[in-house]
Structure 1
Amino acid sequence: MIAKNLESLLTMYKEVVEKVDLGIHVIDSTGKTIIYNKKMREIEGMNINDVLDKNLLDVFRFGSADESTLLRALNNGESIQNVKQTYFNNKGQEITTINHTFPIQENGLITGAVEIAKDVTKLEKMIQENIYKKGHAPYTFDQILGQNERLKEAVETSKRAAPTASSVLIIGEAGTGKELFAHSIHNGSSRSAKAFLAQNCAALPDTFMETLLFGTEEQGETEGRPGLLEQADGGTVLLDEIDSLSPSLQMRLQQVIQEKKVRRAGGTKDIPIDVRVLATISEDPIDAIAAGKLRKDLYYRLSVISIFIPPLRERKEDIDELTSFFTEKYNHLFGMKVSSIDKEVKSYFLEYDWPGNIRELEHVIEGAMNLMEHEETLSFGHLPIQFRYKSGSGGRTNDLEKIEGFLYQPGKTILPLDDYIHEAETYYIKKALQHHNFNVTKTAKALGMSRQNLQYRIRKYNIGKSDDS
């Protein structure tokens, strides 16, 4: 009975090891592989027979034996946590993992080592491509549109800041155009002919942000890898969402800006750099400091010059100009000739609060023009359906309110819910079809459903062109 229970338990352990979504690699006291799960085989691109019962160094290539976290755990009794390792399989393919590695002990003796690995090979390649790709800044101050006084003040402050070498903190909600201001500052400076490199600080985990920003000096590498701050030497680095960096990385960045020197991760020497740092934040930096998201010393170092960009809801006098600009932009891209926006849409735009700011306005216009064919006037019915029923409709009696009046009137019996939904859906589909001249493809797109789904409802509700609205 005991043997049977032990066999059952071993089977369950084997199933767990095979199914877990992390690589598991176990070696014995001689360095031979004794456990090598499915996820580890996928990470390393190996068959189990190529690895099982073979010495680790006969299968994988490291810069040196000491670079293998498994062998370090086995030979030195080290517990190694959250360490990045780059090595090669027997086909010469580069593999990068983040490892947790532990020695296995029995009666005080080390009898093996286990490694739990997470694959980051693709992410590491993306980082290196980012590091070695020198960017450029396509925008200038001429492309910042609007007559709002606070906006004009932000532009004037930016123009005065451009020729200096000081750091700049650009403050504004998402979608207000912070990157456009950063590009313009770089292009208005003496650094305009040099690199402009931008990085969103919320896009990657700390382990990779450290490598990306400061570079790395790993064992076995003769030259190491420069980070963004080195790569942009003589130019500008834009760090978007600076409050997303961990406190430790914020402290290192503050030191780099202050000392104008960078030390690579794993390195021992300081490398002089001449780089201007621009940073953005989407909330009031004082609130971010109070919440522990932004270090006070980094804030003071970055905010030598602070630029506040007003949200679109506070500069609605600029909506007409921005709308015209985006309409012309997509006329050019789509080969269209939209020449006007009807009064109902203009009224709606002025009443709406635009939580997504200018970016949202552009997306709405792009979406509307995707629903147009040969029309020259953008009307309310062209606006994306998910946008039409957001709050703040400018007092417009929308189609859902028409449905309510159609189905429920004073003195009229309230319909059962299923009947109400049936009549409301039928009514709305009829109106949408009429608006698009019974073009099923365009109507389906406007309603956010497939053509087949719409055709099914047309048949189900027996809707035809001759139906009364």
Structure 2
Amino acid sequence: MKLEKINLPEYVLAQILETAFQWFVVVDKESNITYINEDYCKFLEIKREDAMGKPVNEVIENTRMHEVVQSGEEHIASAHYIKGTYMLANRIPIKVNGEIVGAFGSVVFRDLHDWHHLSSHVKQTLEKINVHAMPTEENQYRLGDIKGSSQTIRSIKETIQMIAPSDLPVLLQGESGTGKEMFAQSIHYLSDRSDKPLIKVNCAAIPADLLEVELFGQGRSATSTERQGRIHLVNGGTLFLDDIGSLPLPVQVKLLRLLNDGEVESVHSHKTEKVNIRLICSTNQPLTELIEVGQFRKDLYYRIQAITLRIPPLRERMEDFSEITSFMFHEAISKAGKRNMVFAEETLRVLHSYHWPGNIRELQNVIQAAVYLTNGETIYPDALPPQVKQQIHYYSPSSRTLAESLEEVEKKILSETLQVCTNKREAAAVLGLSKSTFYEKLKKYEL
């Protein structure tokens, strides 16, 4: 179609450029801005009249428009890091009679999360259509699934958007139940490996004598058959080592070699194989404490901790509590097939005043149980577990000394923590106590 036959009025073209989803910029052969739409100016926090006529690299961070003008080569779906996030941009040279007179740029996806979310949705749809594809049994979490708008959570999300496109190892540090796996999955699905496997290995759940084979595989021998390990299966994708502090020292040596050389050697095999993985680790206790007692290698720690994200416990982000509770509540009543359920005001006060040693996971379990234990439409405190709904006992000088009151509170906290943690080691980590101090207190209170 010839352009002269289109005959679009100028106001129509202007409306298209101003209201389209994309952001637009046009530069001349000197790389000065001759047009930029208002939405782009709002994002850049600049007035359009101040941007017009200026060199494009003075207005748009990390721009490469001037390179397109100079080289005449187009950039299609090129990653553009701007204002703390990655975007996908197109940059096209403008030619008249074979001569470059400027360039046209547009932001197609305003951040890589939009792109990966769309890509992942398409892949999942295709998998459902394919009769040979088996649906995944595990939940797949994206960054938007992490609820909360506190400054701490916003900062973690911003960091994830910055580091996800890289292949750098990431260490997630936080108490049990804080949702570290959700953050690990968010990193994977924002990365260029999102179409490759994400495999989780719980280092504490697999016996130490089996963990090496589980990770690195096993070569053929007189007593064993050949099998691939998780590292072979995740090649090209992301390996998530949950509770890496439980990894035996000999396995730590092999993991360090994998990170340094990109090579894996199976048990009972002297042959090395090249693999390409991204490593994400989690721990519910400071690895520096394990280094001090000789249970974790210092060189491995330095290799995995360059990017460390501390996931805060629920008690430190109570400004997010209402949003998290509301989301979990509506999810629970939907799964239970119930409608029009609400929390009584008293129930919400009890939930908010509890200290949640088991964090998000404990909150989710409590809400799910309360939904199923309630026959009517209103959830009252009697549907909550004993450790959550029990009343606070105030100190009375006439009944006990201050030391006795403090000991009573300490014993109560220890007892409640043991109820929600899977083992004593985890309970000690949740309370921020060393193993020796924790066991001394258990002995003191006969717990």
Asked whether the two chains share a fold, i.e. TM above 0.5, the reply is yes
Is the contact between residue 198 and residue 239 of structure 1 (CA under 8 Å) also seen in structure 2? yes
Structure 1, unpaired ranges of 5+: 1-132, 397-469
- 2:150 paired with 1:148: yes
Q: Give 1:194-273 correspondences, 5 Å limit.
A: 194-219=196-221, 224-273=226-275
Deviation at 1:145, TM superposition (A): 0.4
Residue number in structure 2 paired with 1:346: 348
CA distance in structure 2 between the partners assigned to 1:291 and 1:336 by the alignment: 51
Is the contact between residue 137 and residue 196 of structure 1 (CA under 8 Å) also seen in structure 2? no
Counterpart pick for 1:371 among 370, 373, 377? 373
Q: Give 1:114-133 correspondences, 5 Å limit.
A: none
* TM-score (ref. length: structure 2): 0.55
Deviation at 1:385, TM superposition (A): 3.4
Letter in 2 for 1:292: G
Deviation at 1:342, TM superposition (A): 2.1
Residue number in structure 2 paired with 1:164: 166
Residue number in structure 2 paired with 1:179: 181
Deviation at 1:349, TM superposition (A): 2.0
CA distance in structure 1 between the partners assigned to 2:193 and 2:136 by the alignment: 14
Residue number in structure 2 paired with 1:387: 388
Residue number in structure 2 paired with 1:191: 193
Is the contact between residue 351 and residue 394 of structure 1 (CA under 8 Å) also seen in structure 2? no
Q: Deviations over 1:387-434 (max 9, x none)?
A: 323xxx4679xxxxxxxxxxxxxxxxxxxxxxxxxxxxxxxxxxxxxx
Q: 1:271 to 1:208 in 2, by over 3 A?
A: same
Is the contact between residue 261 and residue 273 of structure 1 (CA under 8 Å) also seen in structure 2? yes
CA distance in structure 2 between the partners assigned to 1:331 and 1:138 by the alignment: 20
Structure 2, unpaired ranges of 5+: 1-134, 395-447
CA distance in structure 2 between the partners assigned to 1:345 and 1:135 by the alignment: 33
Q: 1:137 to 1:232 in 2, by over 3 A?
A: farther
Counterpart pick for 1:325 among 318, 324, 327? 327
How many residues get paired? 263
Q: Deviations over 1:414-466 (max 9, x none)?
A: xxxxxxxxxxxxxxxxxxxxxxxxxxxxxxxxxxxxxxxxxxxxxxxxxxxxx
CA distance in structure 2 between the partners assigned to 1:191 and 1:137 by the alignment: 18
Larger radius of gyration, structure 1 or 2?
A: 1
Letter in 2 for 1:333: K
Q: Secondary structure at the match of 2:205?
A: coil
CA distance in structure 1 between the partners assigned to 2:202 and 2:259 by the alignment: 18
Q: Pairwise CA RMSD of aligned residues?
A: 2.6
Deviation at 1:258, TM superposition (A): 1.1
Q: 1:200 to 1:339 in 2, by over 3 A?
A: same
Letter in 1 for 2:281: A
Deviation at 1:134, TM superposition (A): 8.7
Q: Secondary structure at the match of 1:278?
A: strand
Deviation at 1:137, TM superposition (A): 6.3
CA distance in structure 1 between the partners assigned to 2:206 and 2:352 by the alignment: 37
Is the contact between residue 137 and residue 186 of structure 1 (CA under 8 Å) also seen in structure 2? no
Q: Secondary structure at the match of 2:147?
A: coil
Q: 1:387 to 1:226 in 2, by over 3 A?
A: same
- 2:315 paired with 1:313: yes
Question: Identity over aligned residues, as a percent?
Answer: 35
Deviation at 1:212, TM superposition (A): 0.5
Q: Secondary structure at the match of 1:292?
A: coil
Deviation at 1:271, TM superposition (A): 0.2
Deviation at 1:156, TM superposition (A): 1.6
Q: Secondary structure at the match of 2:209?
A: helix
- 2:316 paired with 1:336: no
Q: 1:206 to 1:395 in 2, by over 3 A?
A: closer
Deviation at 1:298, TM superposition (A): 1.1
Deviation at 1:176, TM superposition (A): 0.2
Q: Deviations over 1:257-302 (max 9, x none)?
A: 1110000011111100001111100012222322333221111111
Letter in 2 for 1:276: R
CA distance in structure 1 between the partners assigned to 2:224 and 2:382 by the alignment: 63
Q: Secondary structure at the match of 1:298?
A: helix
Is the contact between residue 350 and residue 394 of structure 1 (CA under 8 Å) also seen in structure 2? no
Further displaced range: 176-185 or 380-389: 380-389
Letter in 1 for 2:279: V
Q: Secondary structure at the match of 2:200?
A: strand
Q: 1:137 to 1:325 in 2, by over 3 A?
A: closer
Is the contact between residue 180 and residue 311 of structure 2 (CA under 8 Å) also seen in structure 1? yes
